[in-house]
Structure 1
Amino acid sequence: MGVLFFTWVVLQLFPVILTSLVYEKQQKLRIMMKMHGLGDGPYWLITYGYFLALSAIYMLCFVMFGSSLGLKFFSSNDYTIQFLFYFIYLNLQISMAFLLSSFLSDVKTAAVIAYLGVFATGLLGSYLFEKFLESSVSRGWIICMELYPGFALYRGLYEFGQSSSFGGSMQWQNLSDSDSGMKEKTTCITNLSIQRQGSKASAQMEKADVIQEREKVQQLLLEPTINHAIVCDDLKKFYPGRDGNPGKFAVKEMFLAVSFISMMIGLTEPSSGAAYVQGQDIRTHMKAIYTNMGVCPQHDLLWESLTGREHLLFYGRLKNLQGSALTKAVEESLKVLNLFYGGVADKQAGKYSGGMKRRLSVAISLIGDPKVVYMDEPSTGLDPASRNCLWNAIRLAKQDRAIILTTHSMEEAEALCDRLGIFVDGRLQCVGNPKELKGRYGGTYVFTMTTSSDHEKDVENMVQRLTPNANKIYHLSGTQKFELPKEDVKIANIFQAVEVAKRNFTVFAWGLSDTTLEDVFIKVAREARAFDTLS
């Protein structure tokens, strides 16, 4: 019963290691660390060393506690032999956890499997493997069973127990004695698995601004320099077909947000094309690029047990900040994102609200003063107050760096972007600052009027009198929307027409607005898809 109990005690480390590895995988924290400059080699070396040190301390306490109680299992056997055995097994246990973490992606599943393995190993060792050791089962079968790490551990603890029984002991000088039962050495196989996060044409007439942008890129490619933060040319990602389905381009010409960012931060290999960040090719110089890059992913990738301050300290160190410079940068980031006061900075991230987590993710992307920052829908799910706080921080941050921001919110694009491009089905359709795009693709007022269904025709006639070039864009239950070309109408004439209409029939509501970026996007998307349909 003693060997069974000690086996279970030692194996309790295995679920801790496995669930920790799977947690970082499930929460995509490994990807987050890689995007901020922590390479695969240092990550696995640090992780392995951390768990080895933790395990060594655990086993040291285990042996010391057993010895302090006067248990012969510990005191009778040579301590150097015990520590050597435990050290070899701990390396094997950590390696097995690394291997299994490659096949698991859910922490709860990993925990269940690990604890089932712990208890099953002890019970099978006690009621099956030990019987084989004491019977006449061939040596080959014993060695085969010991290839499983749990049985190798049980065999070692069993020999310690046998040696300490009846006043005996295990010493170096009698290990080779055939009477001691230790002539057959336990065989251990170390399985080390380095886990890596895997990643799973139609011709169209280009508009003048897109052609101009392409020509500018072609000129820059002749001599890439750090004067332009990011230069992309014909960057594409093609996913081969599966199960009879045809292959598909996720990125054509330039990008579809997720695939583009994945390629630019080195998580996905481009199928073709070229991209340079600060003059460095993403295919060959990603390690150098990581040191000067920040990323705010679409979903918050945070350790729930770490505080906001600890997150920033960790990522600040990855950006080579140290000492007072690190402390100052962390405090400034916390203050700018409104996470400093009221004890928020020292609260665990798992207790943060959604808005606080989002602001922390933005703070992480900006720590260390990176020259290129990617933000994927940074204000998703925020309330208006939190969103304005976040926007102010981004406006302040963009003064001395390039920020690539993807968003479905035209309001956010207009508030934050100096230049923006509109993409439809992965193709760049237009590029320019918000005012240019509204002037180029807008050029109209949007007139809205709501009446009873009986007077819808009267509203149409009124609009036609204002301008025969009006275009109806919406009609539902008495509410109609029209685009009125700015060169055809004056705002004063519209107000006069509405006043006349009010005297002739009941007007429930009406409104006049200038072209918004949302109107521009809808128009550009409609034109692009209409062209694809014709093609």
Structure 2
Amino acid sequence: MATAIRDVGVWRQTRTLLLKNYLIKCRTKKSSVQEILFPLFFLFWLILVSMMHPNKKYEEVSDIELSPMDKFSLSNVILGYTPVTNITSSIMQRVSTDHLPKVIVTEEYANEKELVAASLSKSSNFVGVVFKDTMSYELRFFPEMIPVSSIYMNSREGCSKTCDAAQYWSLGFTVLQASIDAAIIQLKTNVSVWSELESTKAVIMGEAAVVEIDTFPRGVILIYLVIAFSPFGYFLAIHIVAEKEKKLKEFLKIMGLHDTAFWLSWVLLYASLIFLMSLLMAVIATASSLFPQSSSIVIFLLFFLYGLSSVFFALMLTPLFKKSKHVGVVEFFVTVVFGFVGLLIVLIESFPRSLVWLFSPLCQCAFLIGIAQVMHLEDFNEGALFSNLTEGPYPLIITIIMLALDSVFYVLLAVYLDQVIPGEFGLRRSSLYFLKPSYWSKNKRNYKELSEGNINGNISLNEIVEPVSSEFIGKEAIRISGIQKSYRKKTENVEALRNLSFDIYEGQITALLGHSGTGKSTLMNILCGLCPPSDGFASIYGHRVSEIDEMFEARKMIGICPQSDINFDVLTVEENLSILASIKGIPANNIIQEVQKVLLDLDMQAIKDNQAKKLSGGQKRKLSVGIAVLGNPKILLLDEPTAGMDPCSRHIVWNLLKYRKANRVTVFSTHFMDEADILADRKAVISQGMLKCVGSSIFLKSKWGIGYRLSMYIDRYCATESLSSLVRQHIPAATLLQQNDQQLVYSLPFKDMDKFSGLFSALDIHSNLGVISYGVSMTTLEDVFLKLEVEAEIDQADYSVFTQQPREEETDSKSFDEMEQSLLILSETKASLVSTMSLWKQQVSTIAKFHFLSLKRESKSVRAVLLLLLIFFAVQIFMFFLHHSFKNAVVPIKLVPDLYFLKPGDKPHKYKTSLLLQNSTGEIRVSIPLTLPYCCLSPRKSGLELKQVRKQELIEFQS
């Protein structure tokens, strides 16, 4: 049948949610101030760090000429070698006799192991020679005699004639190497070259003015820039999960909210915040000592894109958590951990370049790579500018692109996870839902209406369901057939609903009755799409509630008042109504009028400017009812709408529901039998998840009632036996229900109603039996309910999705009453009380026990905290050992050309020189004219000057 469906565009809902989020930001000042001040605090702290650790600038250093090699001959040295062969013995003989006569002794060893053992037992002037073959050998010096074999060199500040590189020359390493080389050459060519080699002198090349970089402040700046943007993601994740935890998100979706509007509202809000913050931080960073030479726009792009990606990273985490207190901690911790990963990538120079970009999907790593490149450009160029975005091994343009791609990836992943990960509330899609054609083609479907025959399921409803009058035939708005819902609780399966089947009609008010835990709330949640049924079928005007797309259409007609109060705590009553009216699709020019009408209908004008969190329990229920009736929805689903209200407010709600009954569907649950009797046209009694009966009050009372009640007030001379005989004489089925000194109560069946007049006449005639007065009353609905519940266990657990939480004022009043009563009992017992130190010990032990029990019941939280601490300590230990290993790294380095010289065609980098680029042969020896100063070819290296007639030849050493 045709229904009036409200519809609203995504952009309008987005604007409304933006307003809502903005108001919440303004009202939650603590978190908002932290989001703004934390990044600025970190930025100013980093500026202070950069000012306290400025780069050291060194002026140009001139060439330093060292003495010739023959001035540094080895003396008093024990020279051991292995293996012992004719050739090695011949070589070492020439070294010890012809080249280095001051060597004390030359010792022979069978293998390298014996040589090493001997070196450990001798003095520090022992030098070992290990021949690999006749042309290849290793020199073994004590660490004090040569520089540490590491790629990390001392700063230029301490470099002079005693510089590390010069120690190879001054402490005899070069002398011994040249001596052995001369002996090998003489052995192979029979030509002595030692006289030429020993006159060779060395020159420590001069160096241009340079800037020494301190890595410690750089590491601090890098990691703190990553953390600076973490408050945005931290508070965003908490806000979103808190709304999910309070059921606000699913509640808004029931109101017709589009998922796109929900995500877009948060994205736009935080994008605006990050835009302004990034702009301010970029201006401050470039105007200070942090990035003084860089372009503000380039730095702004880096900050803005990283801020966006970090916020979207937090969005991606929200579908994975159910508790807001967990998601914030995890988001911050993950940010710090990934930040340290990025820091390692940046600081480890030998980290494979191909693996660097493998970590770029982590926005923290990509951002650190970009900031490290900015620092590099600040040190060796004019800073990060648009003109050099593509320069360097890690161009900034790639970082910018990767951060933008990370943002898009995180948003898409957040939306996907929100759709597929099972949550406590709402329906979920299959993991590959986006591949199904039905997801992209939203075609209208025509549904086959259920007939009375197939709505009955597996049970016969003729006896427990009252047939409706002819005017309601064909007006079945909600059809429920064989609905079952079960939950898994530890090892057992609990059935909340069992094969429930009945219809709810348009133009009627239907009440759901049953004790607490009978499944009323579960049925409500199924009808509004908060949880799917385990089995069975339910439809709302032909839309199946178990299908997400169809339920979205049905929700456009629904107004819901859940069992728990759903509102935005920091917004006022009027703001709550206005925002939800806009989300529902009420025309903008009618919102004020509609809100005022609801305030008037529910008598809330006096509290319209009060924040929702400051309302009493009854006032919050009225607000929830007001939200439900906004826009005059076609269907109202109200779960205990008047719970906690005063009698006056209850009557106001009753009148409102009666007024809106025509052409509408109203379903409500209640524990007040008088409310159901007065308000509802049809009552559905549910017990232990099963339908007991459905019908009007007359039908229920006649079907399940205990008849009429005859109450007689008697005097002390009443002949009870005679009076009972008189009653049974006229109505044989009468039973005595209650007897005391003042009253007798009999139950009279409905079928004997025609005999009542005879009984009344007999009572009037036999006035001597002691009857003062009598009266007849019909069975109440509460009597019917109690009779039905006799068959069921009263204490059945309710596993509904929206479990009712005790309201604050109810809890407070109950706790106060219990406390007062306990104190009275304690005072009456006159028990002896402990005092002073004994009392203090008892209080401490009691509080400790209380906290222990609380932690025991929060085992998941405790395990999560312990796991985070364990990971944190593991990262700290890893960082310590990594730093220790780098700090004390002594790596054997072979003095080969590849260590110092670039191959033809290579670009200069690290400590390598472009010296070989002057020679097309690719050999070590390079010929240059005498007129060309060799310092300009290798301005940061050492060299050897070989005196020859027409040319100079250079061999470079690291310095």
TM-score range, shorter chain: 0.7 to 0.9
RMSD: 4.2
Match of 2:327 in 1: 110
- Who is 1:484 aligned against? 748
Which secondary structure does the structure 2 equivalent of 1:285 belong to? helix
Secondary structure of 1:267's aligned partner:
coil
Q: Does 1:469 align with 2:733?
A: yes
Instruction: Tell me, yes or no, if structure 1 residue 169 matches structure 2 residue 383.
Output: yes
Correspondence for 1:40 among 248, 256, 259: 259
- Change in CA separation of 1:182 and 1:271 when aligned onto 2, cut-off 3 Å: closer
TM-score by length of 1: 0.79
Distance in structure 2 (CA, Å) of the matches to 1:499 and 1:332:
62
Does the 8 Å contact 1:163/1:180 carry over to 2?
Answer: no
Higher helix fraction (1 or 2): 1
Cα distance 1:338–1:520, how it changes in 2: closer, same or farther (>3 A)?
same
Q: 2:624 aligns with which of 361, 365, 383?
A: 361
SS in 1 for 2:660: helix
Change (3 A) 1:164 1:416: farther
- Find out whether 1:178 has 2:397 as its counterpart: no
1:225 alignment counterpart: none
Q: How far off its partner does 1:527 sit? A: 6.5
- What is the one-letter code of the residue matched to 1:254? S
Paired residue total: 504
1:415-494 alignment, distance < 5 Å: 415-442=678-705, 444-446=707-709, 462-463=723-724, 465-467=726-728, 468-471=732-735, 482-485=746-749, 487=753, 489=756
Q: Describe the superposition over 1:324-361 as per-residue Cα deviations: whole angstroms up to 9, x where unpaired.
A: 311100110111111113xx112211111111111111
Match of 2:778 in 1: 514
1:193 to 2:414 alignment: yes
Q: Which residue of 2 aligns with 1:138?
A: 351
Structure-1 residue corresponding to 2:156: none
Structure-2 change in CA distance of 1:173 and 1:166 (3 Å):
closer
1:507 aligned partner: none
Q: What secondary structure is seen at the aligned counterpart in 2 of 1:346?
A: coil
Distance 1:214 1:243, change over 3 A: farther
Amino acid at match of 1:287: F
| Corresponding position: 1:260 with 2:523 | yes
AA at the equivalent of 1:336: D
Written as runs of structure 1 = structure 2, the 5 A alignment for 1:41-440 is: 41-64=260-283, 66=285, 70-73=287-290, 76-115=293-332, 120=336, 125=340, 130=343, 133-139=346-352, 147-164=361-378, 168-178=382-392, 185=399, 189=406, 190-191=409-410, 192-194=413-415, 195-196=418-419, 198=423, 206-208=461-463, 210=465, 212=467, 220=474, 228=475, 230-239=477-486, 245-246=492-493, 248=495, 250-254=497-501, 256-271=519-534, 273-282=536-545, 283=547, 285-341=550-606, 344-440=607-703
Residue 389 and residue 178 in structure 1: after superposition, are their counterparts in 2 closer, same or farther (change >3 A)?
same
Please tell me the residue identity of whatever aligns with 2:727. Answer: L
Task: Give yes or no for contact 2:291–2:383 (8 Å, CA) kept in 1.
Answer: no
Q: After alignment, is 397-406 or 253-262 more displaced?
A: 253-262
Aligned CA distance change for structure 1 residues 478 and 368 (closer, same or farther; 3 Å): same
Deviation of 1:303 after TM superposition, in Å, equals 1.0
Residue of structure 2 equivalent to 1:532? none
- One-letter amino acid of the counterpart of residue 779, structure 2: T
Q: Which amino acid aligns with 1:171?
A: L
User: CA 1:182/1:251 → structure 2, altered by over 3 Å: closer, same or farther?
Assistant: same
Following superposition, the deviation at residue 19 of structure 1 comes to 0.9
Cα 1:206–1:134 shift into 2, 3 Å: closer
Inter-CA distance 409–395: structure 2 relative to 1 (3 Å threshold)? same
Tell me, yes or no, if the aligned pair for 1:230 and 1:275 is still in contact at 8 Å: no
1:216 to partner: Cα distance: 11
CA contact (8 A) 1:207 1:429 kept: no
Q: 1:114 to 1:280 in 2, by over 3 A?
A: closer
Amino acid at match of 2:414: S
Is the 8 Å Cα contact of residues 598 and 630 (structure 2) preserved in structure 1?
yes
List runs of 5+ in structure 2 lacking aligned partners.
Answer: 1-44, 47-220, 426-455, 503-518, 794-959
Structure 1: 5+ residue stretches without partners = 221-227, 504-509, 530-535
Q: Structure 1 stretch 20-29 or stretch 175-184: which is displaced more? A: 175-184
Cα distance change on mapping 1:240 and 1:429 into 2, 3 Å = closer
Highest CA radius of gyration, 1 or 2?
2
1-structure distance, mates of 2:379, 2:612 = 52
Which residue number corresponds to residue 533 of structure 1?
none
| Range with greater deviation from structure 2 (278-287 or 324-333) | 278-287
The whole-number CA distance in structure 2 between the counterparts of 1:268 and 1:338 is 33
Task: From the superposition, tell whether residues 322 and 496 of structure 1 become closer, same or farther in structure 2 (CA, over 3 Å).
Answer: farther
When structure 1 is superposed on structure 2, of 177-186 and 314-323 the one drifting more is 177-186
Aligned partner of residue 675 in structure 2, secondary structure: helix
- How far does the alpha carbon of each residue in 1:46-101 deviate from its partner, in whole angstroms, 9 at most, with x for none? 3333333333233234334556xx22546632334333323432342233212221
Mapped to 1, the partners of 2:459 and 2:686 lie a distance apart of 13
* Structure 1 position 22 matched with structure 2 position 247: no
Judging changes above 3 Å, is the alpha-carbon distance between structure 1 residues 459 and 47 closer, same or farther for their aligned structure 2 residues? farther
